[in-house]
Amino acid sequence: MKNFYLPDAAGSKIVTVTKSGEAEAETIVLTEAVAVKETGPKETVAKFGEIYAFSPNFIALRENVPTKLTFWNLQPDDEHDFMLAAPDSRVLMHVKLAPLTKESWVFTFHEEGIFNFYCAVHQPEMNGQILVLPPAK
């Protein structure tokens, strides 16, 4: 059984994550099936296994602007997850994205930088980056 969690007290100084709340922007992130057993190509799946990607896999946000990210797991039979790492590579949160569900969290980043994210189930290919920009002038 995996242990899923949101940022702890130390992590919340870098990014606050809540299940609900007001957001100034929303981005929908899809779990895209790039090459899977149901639709192939068979040769690709045989060589690489099933391949998934986050779409989009690059998201630019501004510091201290609450932004809702809504994940749509489009697969009926595949669990995905979302693991967010700080610029120093420390894992801040890890949440499950169950098959055929939409899950939202409101993210407020308190630091600029590049935050990598991963689906731990589908490594090394299912990744992305959040670029946190300085506040708008």
Quick one: which segment of 4-12, 14-22, 33-41, 77-85 binds Cu ion (CB under 5 A)?
A: 77-85
Angstrom distance (rounded) from CA 124 to CA 136: 34
55: exposed, middle or buried (Cβ count in 10 Å: 0-12, 13-18, 19+): middle
* Residue 130 in the binding site for Cu ion (CB under 5 A): no
Nearest approach in angstroms of CB 3 to Cu ion is 17
Task: Kindly state the number of chain residues that form the binding site for Cu ion, as judged by CB under 5 A.
Answer: 6
The residues facing 68 across adjacent strands are 26, 106
Nearer to Cu ion, 52 or 71 (CB): 52
Nearest approach in angstroms of CB 45 to Cu ion is 15
Number of CB atoms found within 10 A of residue 29's CB = 20
| Closest residue by beta carbon to Cu ion | 119
According to DSSP, the β-strands at 91-97 and 80-85 are: antiparallel
**CA end-to-end span of the chain, whole Å?**
45
* Residue 30 in the binding site for Cu ion (CB under 5 A): no
Restricting to residues 87-106, which ones interact with Cu ion according to CB under 5 A?
none
Q: Which of 23, 119, 130, 132 binds Cu ion (CB under 5 A)?
A: 119
* Sites of contact with Cu ion (CB under 5 A): 52, 80, 119, 121-122, 126
